[in-house]
Amino acid sequence: MKASLPMNTRQAVASMRGLYGKPRRLPEHWRDRLPDPDAYYRARIPSLGKAHGNGWAQGRCPFHDDGTASLSVNLAHGGWKCFAGCGGGDLVGFHVRVSGLPFTDAVRDLLGVRA
């Protein structure tokens, strides 16, 4: 008797299709069509201060109960980091986390593409 092997990627994708329906495709060059980080973060972090010369600005982190300004966001390239331990990443990662949407849906949301 053959031991059962873990699913390979193709099987995993097929099984996810079964669960969630057809995967939605992202438009071509979607990374070029992401919102301006400055506008994006200012709309979501009311406490965001002025950017320093290096492009980083500080504000209150939406991922924990932040009494100070633990969150740094880069208004030029969109990167973020919470110095209280919430992690960091790029603008898409921030949106995934703040919206609770799966990656593809979060990108579509950022692009303004209807689900």
Q: What residue has token string 């703040």?
A: 98
Stretch 18-37 residues interacting with Zn ion (CB under 5 A): none
Stretch 49-68 residues interacting with Zn ion (CB under 5 A): 61, 63-64
- What angle, rounded to 10 degrees, do the helices at 91-99 and 37-44 form? 30
Closer CB to Zn ion, 13 or 84, in the complex:
84
Shortest distance (Å) from residue 49 CB to Zn ion: 16
Is 79:69 a contact under the CB 8 Å cutoff? no
Closer CB to Zn ion, 59 or 78, in the complex:
59
Residue ranges in the chain assigned as alpha helix (H): 9-20, 37-44, 91-99, 103-111
Count of Cβ atoms closer than 10 Å to residue 48 Cβ: 20
Site map 75..104 versus Zn ion, x via CB under 5 A: -------x-x-x------------------
Q: Which residues bind Zn ion (CB under 5 A)?
A: 61, 63-64, 82, 84, 86
